[in-house]
Chains A and B, each alone.
Chain A
Amino acid sequence: MNPTGREGLSPMLMAERLGRVLPGEVPVTLVQDISLTIDRGEFVAIMGPSGSGKSSLLYLLGLLDTPTAGRILLDGRDTSGYGEDELATTRLRQLGFVFQFHFLLAEFSALDNVLLPMRRLGVLDEGSAQRRAGALLAQLGLDGQAHKRPHQLSGGQRQRVAIARALANDPPIILADEPTGNLDSHAAANVRQILRDLTRELGKTVIAVTHDLTFASAADRQIGIVDGRIDPHWRA
């Protein structure tokens, strides 16, 4: 029997009674008492009204923020005791981020943006890293765009470069925060399909925060967040 209760799947990411409160004169609760399990190769959409704590949950799951309660297990390992360096290394090796606004480095070409995480990790030599970055861009339909700067690319192209960058170190988990929120419908469909394919063809776990119902419908599972808690009855 699988501990998650879902036969045939193994848990990639588990949150146990997760809470995040911003300290201050009036403490603000962002996330409270969230427990969830996300399996390897699963495509999960996190939905909810604005300000419900979706992005805060994503930052916690992506080890960008530290919970004030509960813990996160990544591939079975408890991350609650990790120091800042260990968290950074885990993000470098196991997590890839895609944000609503592409957040590419403006002075770098598309290729160099994709190379950044690989150069930091330093596992591949420069030649191999260049080939891998080129191949990733080609897979995402960016042939011939590798040497263009972000401002020379369309919104959809930039977002695909951001996805290629997230995939650079071949992490098992991709976290996306409103990845189609800033794209036209055609580009959004393209990005949605790419993320879908990542789970089906490459076995990646994709966790995406979205307001987009079409996007959410492509996911294996939708999780609704209201007032910082999981709401099993939530409907858009």
Chain B
Amino acid sequence: MPVQLAIALTHLLSRKRQTLVSLTGIVLGVAFFLAVSSLMRGSEGDFIKRLIDNSPHITVSDEYRQAQRQPASERWPTGAVELRRVKPLTEVRGIRGHPRALAYIESLPGLRAAPVLVGSVVLTFAGRIEGVTLNGIVPDKMKQVSTIEDKMIEGSLEQLAANPNGIVIGAGLARKFGLAMGSVVNAASPGGEVRTLKVVGIFRTGNANYDDMQTFALLKRAQGLLDRPNRINRIVIQLSDPYAAREVASIIERGIGYKAVSWLEASEDLMSVLLVRNLIMYSVVSAILVVAAFGIYNTVSTIVMEKIHDIAILKSMGFHARDIRLIFLTEGVILGLIGSLIGLALGLGLMALLARVELKPPGATELVFLPIYWGYEQYLLAAGFAMASAIGAAWLPARKAGRVQPVAILRGMG
């Protein structure tokens, strides 16, 4: 064992209580760092997963990012004549030439796309009236871009193909209306069209708003009900790599002209909130470790003060200033290392306990376990930060010890 390490160990072991207090600070700091980090990152991961799973990665809508220019402005961009009170042609809403747009999108690699016509309808049943969103879909295509099929608790999307007058509703709406499989409801569009639809499927996503408000019908039936024949107003896209959504959306928008919004763009405000939340979380848990580092600073400083005579003797013996620095830095490293290891073990225990906690978040319909992130990098981060704090805390007293002039001490001791 190197002599510097032997001296460092002896110093720490001869001050058991003080060493234990410093160690406890690091242990608790690392454990809380890990527990809070795993919980925050777990909830963030869970949130993003839900976002990615439950919403399209890219949504192409029948809108343009920028208003279309008038043909006259296009033709004579530097013209001196100004035409006033030009009334733009009223367009029928929807994606024009959608089969071509869909074919273009489907030609891109790593994605699946489905056409949708989204509109509002009013459902009536047994005297109750409720406004809901009707999604006109092609079941085979929708199954490829949405997890809704996995959330079916009764029936399936497939049954829409078998029953053109079918409707798939959420569990919340079914409960509210007292509907069951096979029940018949009336659906009325804002244009006055009315259809009688039969419940052929019930889903539950766990999101109360979604389960109350969203319904699915066959695309053709929705087009008829909403009086938009051969029209769609959405193309929903699912990607193999959800994080490529921004780039792919930009390609699609350039290719077909319609606005393509990635899930990242649509959730930018939420992502900013997550970023701020992470910053706050890491600041708070890092502060715990910084406070723990003061404990190490205190311990090593005290040892330096108490051992000032030994330092002078070691230097008179021929120990270099760097040897003395190394002794006290080693003390910081030992405290940081042991504290990190025990802290990691305690943190893992806390994480396991947290993972068993069940709760019902607002807006959810089911109990869920606290989401915990188990990724290895947070262990490295916690231990790394603890080690850096410990070394930083030991550095100042170590530097002071290295600068001790033995003669000044020996004169005082004589």
Contact = CB atoms under 8 A, between A and B. Distances in A.
Interface of A: 55, 59, 62, 64-65, 84-85, 88-93, 95, 97, 99-101, 103, 105, 107-108, 112, 116-117, 119-121, 165, 169, 177-178
Contacts of B407: 59, 64-65
Contact of A92 (B2, B7, B310, B318): B318
A59 B410 contact: yes
Nearest to B9: A107
24 contacts: A55-B410, A59-B407, A59-B410, A64-B315, A65-B407, A84-B320, A84-B321, A88-B319, A88-B320, A89-B318, A89-B320, A91-B317, A92-B319, A99-B414, A101-B413, A103-B313, A103-B413, A105-B10, A105-B310, A116-B314, A119-B3, A120-B317, A121-B318, A169-B318
Given A62-B316, A103-B309, A177 B321 contact: no
A116 B3 CA distance: 7
B411 interface: yes
A101 B413 CA distance: 8
Contact of A88 (B11, B318, B411, B414): B318
Given A97-B316, A120-B3, 14 more contacts: A55-B410, A64-B406, A84-B321, A88-B315, A89-B320, A92-B317, A99-B313, A99-B413, A99-B414, A103-B413, A105-B10, A107-B10, A116-B314, A120-B318
A101 B312 CA distance: 13
B107 interface: no
Q: Quick one: which of B6, B14, B318, B406 has the most chain A CB within 10 A?
A: B318
B313 A120 contact: no
Contacts of A95: 318
A105 B313 contact: yes
Contact of B317 (A85, A97, A100, A107): A97
Nearest to B307: A105
Nearest to A117: B317
Contacts of A62: 316
Contact of A177 (B322, B406, B414): B414
Pick the 4 closest A-B CB pairs, nearest first.
Answer: A92-B318, A119-B3, A91-B318, A107-B10
Contacts of A65: 407
B323 interface: yes
A217 to B, nearest CB: 23
A64 B407 CA distance: 6
A175 to B, nearest CB: 9
Interface of B: 2-3, 6-7, 10-11, 13-14, 309-310, 313-323, 406-407, 410-411, 413-414
A91 B313 CA distance: 12
Given A105-B310, A116-B3, A55 B318 contact: no
A178 B411 CA distance: 13
Contacts of A64: 315-316, 406-407, 410
A169 B318 CA distance: 11
Nearest to B323: A120
Contacts of A107: 10-11, 13-14
B410 A117 contact: no
Contacts of A89: 318, 320
Nearest to B312: A103
B318 A93 contact: yes
A92 B406 CA distance: 14
A23 to B, nearest CB: 13
Contacts of B410: 55, 59, 64, 99, 177
